[in-house]
């Protein structure tokens, strides 16, 4: 029930949030097409695991909800969307959250244009970069004291470095072959690429912003990393099972469930 | 002479800076290959326009140099390097700063691998994303008061949004054809993509960090944007002239001059 109430509030705030980002960065003025697709992409239905984890991370240690708490929570969702855009380019995924992926969307857009000098792999990073910057800017809107904001923000950035490194490591491993990979390497990729920013970071940054101490955030970090690795193992197993049952499920539903 | 002294100091600090980034983010441990290429790429000779402009922007309004002032200046250089990596992917440029571009480097790396599931356009965004995150984290290392840091950082992020939007707009224009473009559109792309983050932002963020008021930073912003547009016009003219003189110049030298 509490999770459902948080999720409803997140969906409502997401609408307000997108309008505020637009006002702050003049996006619909300078880049109407780009803003339209980012907005549509962001407002798609999703599980919202990251903002949902961020909120108890914060509220578990705070006396009251700070101003713009939900915007701060949503910034992590936006950061996730940015990684989805970059991942879909890498995997050439056509669907994301039950609708065409940004990769598919831009491919379609380019098909209709007569002069195609660039391809979709050129356009999508730029749209992802804008989402990345918007997310980071939104994280700082929370009205909390500066030392906590700095500490939480640095942790968020460190996690962005980990995610990028994990993504890079995964691609490198793809060039040597799965059967040669060690279990520890796979776990390291899970930890860097998924566990840190999906589970650990929402909990830990929320707690840091609310003033939790090192011991408390250390516990949340360990819990988040382990829960994240477990999540990713299950997610990969489901992918394998789904691949074996090809044709029996609707790809739109599969995609919705995976994120 | 002053500019030369600043540039020498920048080069010295860049070495220290890369080691500190490594210690902070454990990069050579978790991603040795990625860190090695980012380090090599960052330490290549360059004009260093952005950190050079940042320093007088700061020192013109400050009583003294804050701790980690140079690290903060270098973060803008790193941010620039990140855009070079993404641009080289889009343009399929083989050279950058007189050496193989990250695009060329990774293409070569993949050629030597037997199982190639991914291509270089998949790998390069991840390396760019890591550089982006490292740059933002470094900007916050300066020891200045928090309200100034927040204000300067938000301006830096807004500029990152502009740069991404400008890049996206340029790609869109490429699909409709140059002869159909309006002069105002070209100037808007120049402003968003180059002028803001190359000239205006180093000056303005430096000044904000040192405590300059709105009026003073407003002047620097206008100067920076106009100087940046002029720079880009000249840069494009040189590109056209160079294209007409193909074969007469060494591509390594051309690339060094362009950045």
Residues A19-50 have pLDDT tens digits of 988 888 888 887 888 888 889 888 998 899 99
Highest mean pLDDT among A196-210, A243-257, B111-125: A196-210
**Contact between A247 and A224 (Cβ < 8 Å):** no
Average pLDDT, integer, range B102-130: 73
Query: Is B133 in contact with A157 (Cβ distance < 8 A)?
Result: yes
| CB-based burial label for B28 (10 Å; 0-12, 13-18, 19+) | middle
Query: What is the pLDDT confidence band of residue A52, given thresholds at 50, 70 and 90?
Result: very high
* Of A173-182, A192-201, B144-153, B240-249, minimum mean pLDDT range: B240-249
The position carrying tokens 């040189």 is B238
pLDDT of residue A176: 67
Query: Is A130 in contact with B165 (Cβ distance < 8 A)?
Result: yes
Q: Which two tokens stand for residue A14?
A: 């997401």
| Interface with chain A: mutation pick from B28, B130, B141, B168, highest number of A CBs within 10 Å | B168
**Contact between B155 and A128 (Cβ < 8 Å):** no
Supply the DSSP symbol for A66.
P
**Contact between B158 and A137 (Cβ < 8 Å):** yes
pLDDT of residue A136: 85
The closest of B189, B203, B172, B197 to B236, measured between CA atoms, is B189
Query: Is A161 in contact with B133 (Cβ distance < 8 A)?
Result: yes
Query: Is B118 in contact with A171 (Cβ distance < 8 A)?
Result: yes
Average pLDDT, integer, range A222-245: 86
Average pLDDT, integer, range B76-105: 83
pLDDT of residue A223: 96
pLDDT of residue B187: 87
Q: Which residues on adjacent β-strands are paired with residue A95?
A: A100
Query: Is A150 in contact with B154 (Cβ distance < 8 A)?
Result: no
pLDDT of residue B117: 63
Highest mean pLDDT among A204-208, B228-232, B252-256: A204-208
Three-state secondary structure readout of chain B: CHHHHHHHHHHHHHHHHHHHHHHHHCHHHHCHHHHHHHHHHHHCCCCCHHHHHHHHHHHCCCCCCCCCHHHHHHHHHHHHHHHHHHHHHHHCCCEECCEECHHHHHHHHHHCCCCCCCCHHHHHHHHHHHHHHHHHHHHCCCCCCHHHHHHHHHHHHHHHHHHHHHHHHHHHHHHHCHHHCCHHHHHHHHHHHHHHHHHHHHHHHHHHHCCCCHHHHHHHHHHHHHHHHHHHHHHHHHHHHHHHCCCCCCHHHHHHHHC
pLDDT of residue A235: 86
Average pLDDT, integer, range B3-21: 89
pLDDT of residue A41: 87
Q: By percentage, how much of chain B surpasses pLDDT 90?
A: 33
Q: Give how far the C-alpha of residue B129 lies from the chain's centroid of Cα atoms, to the nearest Å.
A: 13
**Contact between A137 and B154 (Cβ < 8 Å):** yes
Residues of chain B with C-beta less than 8 angstroms from the C-beta of A161:
25, 27, 130, 133-134, 137
Average pLDDT, integer, range B224-233: 92
Residue B13, pLDDT > 50, answer: yes
pLDDT in tens, B235-253: 888 888 876 765 444 333 4
Residue A244, pLDDT > 90, answer: no
pLDDT of residue A228: 93
| Interface with chain A: mutation pick from B122, B124, B181, B196, highest number of A CBs within 10 Å | B122
Residue B258, pLDDT > 60, answer: no
Q: By percentage, how much of chain A surpasses pLDDT 90?
A: 33
Residues of chain B with C-beta less than 8 angstroms from the C-beta of A125:
86, 89-90, 125, 128
Phi, psi of B250 (to 5 degrees): -80, 125
3-state secondary structure of A96: strand
pLDDT of residue A224: 95
Give CA–CA dist A252/B154, Å, rounded.
37
Give CA–CA dist B82/B137, Å, rounded.
14
Contacting residues for A156 by C-beta, under 8 A, at least 6 apart: A76, A79, A136, A139, A201, A205
Of B30, B126, B161, the CB nearest to A25: B161
Query: What is the pLDDT confidence band of residue B257, given thresholds at 50, 70 and 90?
Result: very low
Residues of chain A with C-beta less than 8 angstroms from the C-beta of B149:
146, 150
Average pLDDT, integer, range B175-182: 74
Average pLDDT, integer, range B158-186: 79
Query: What is the pLDDT confidence band of residue B115, given thresholds at 50, 70 and 90?
Result: low
Residues of chain A with C-beta less than 8 angstroms from the C-beta of B122:
89-90, 121, 171
3-state secondary structure of A259: coil
Supply the DSSP symbol for A77.
H
> CA-nearest residue of chain B to A23?
B158
Residue A68, pLDDT > 80, answer: yes
Of A89, A129, A147, the CB nearest to B122: A89
Q: How far is A2 from chain B (nearest CA, A)?
A: 33
Give CA–CA dist A38/A96, Å, rounded.
13
Average pLDDT, integer, range A185-204: 89
Q: How far is A41 from chain B (nearest CA, A)?
A: 16
3-state secondary structure of A99: strand
Give CA–CA dist A173/A170, Å, rounded.
5
pLDDT of residue A116: 59
pLDDT of residue A256: 45
pLDDT of residue A4: 87
The position carrying tokens 């983010």 is B25
Q: How far is A30 from chain B (nearest CA, A)?
A: 7
Residues of chain B with C-beta less than 8 angstroms from the C-beta of A169:
30-31, 34
Transcribe A206-246 into DSSP letters.
HHHHTT--HHHHHHHHHHHHHHHHHHHHHHHHHHHHHHHTT
**A-B Cβ pairs (cutoff 8 Å, strict):** 164
Residue B17, pLDDT > 70, answer: yes
pTM of the model: 0.81
Phi, psi of B150 (to 5 degrees): -65, -45
Give CA–CA dist A17/A72, Å, rounded.
10
> CA-nearest residue of chain A to B27?
A165
Would you say how long chain A is, in residues? 259
Query: What is the pLDDT confidence band of residue A160, given thresholds at 50, 70 and 90?
Result: confident
The closest of A80, A49, A64, A249 to A156, measured between CA atoms, is A80
pLDDT in tens, B48-80: 999 999 999 999 999 999 999 999 999 999 988
Query: What is the pLDDT confidence band of residue B91, given thresholds at 50, 70 and 90?
Result: confident
Query: What is the pLDDT confidence band of residue B124, given thresholds at 50, 70 and 90?
Result: low
Of A125, A136, A192, the CB nearest to B157: A136
Query: Is A125 in contact with B86 (Cβ distance < 8 A)?
Result: yes
The position carrying tokens 């991603």 is B31
Q: How far is A63 from chain B (nearest CA, A)?
A: 23
| CB-based burial label for B220 (10 Å; 0-12, 13-18, 19+) | buried
| Interface with chain B: mutation pick from A27, A82, A108, A129, highest number of B CBs within 10 Å | A129
Average pLDDT, integer, range B16-33: 85
pLDDT of residue A85: 81
Of B25, B122, B158, the CB nearest to A25: B158
Integer CA distances (angstroms), B245 to B47, B216, B236, in order:
23, 43, 14
pLDDT of residue B172: 75
Give CA–CA dist B89/B16, Å, rounded.
28
Query: Is B137 in contact with A161 (Cβ distance < 8 A)?
Result: yes
pLDDT of residue A115: 61
Integer CA distances (angstroms), B193 to A26, A126, B61, B151, B168, in order:
15, 11, 27, 21, 9
Residues of chain A with C-beta less than 8 angstroms from the C-beta of B130:
161, 164-165, 168
pLDDT of residue B158: 86
Residue B126, pLDDT > 90, answer: no
């Amino acid at each position: 029930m509490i999770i459902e109430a948080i999720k409803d509030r997140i969906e409502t705030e997401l609408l307000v949030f997108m309008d505020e980002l637009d006002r702050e960065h003049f996006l619909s003025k300078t880049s109407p097409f780009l803003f339209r697709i980012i907005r549509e992409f962001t407002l798609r239905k999703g599980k919202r695991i990251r903002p949902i984890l961020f909120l108890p991370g914060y509220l578990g240690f705070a006396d009251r909800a700070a101003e713009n708490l939900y915007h701060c929570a949503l910034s992590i969702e936006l950061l996730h969307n940015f990684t989805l855009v970059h991942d879909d380019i890498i995997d050439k995924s056509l669907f994301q959250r039950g609708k065409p992926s940004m990769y598919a969307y831009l491919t379609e857009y380019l098909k209709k244009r007569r002069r195609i000098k660039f391809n979709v792999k050129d356009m999508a990073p730029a749209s992802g970069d804008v989402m990345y910057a918007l997310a980071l800017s939104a994280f700082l809107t929370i009205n909390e004291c500066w030392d906590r904001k700095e500490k939480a923000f640095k942790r968020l950035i460190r996690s962005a470095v980990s995610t990028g490194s994990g993504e890079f490591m995964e691609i490198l491993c793809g060039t040597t072959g799965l059967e040669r990979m060690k279990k520890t390497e796979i776990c390291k990729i899970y930890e860097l690429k998924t566990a840190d920013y999906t589970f650990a970071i929402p909990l830990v940054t929320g707690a840091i912003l609310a003033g939790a101490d090192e011991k408390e955030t250390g516990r949340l970090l360990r819990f988040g990393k382990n829960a994240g690795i477990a999540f990713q193992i299950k997610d990969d197993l489901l992918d394998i099972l789904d691949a074996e049952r090809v044709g029996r499920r609707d790809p739109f539903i599969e995609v919705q469930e995976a994120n």
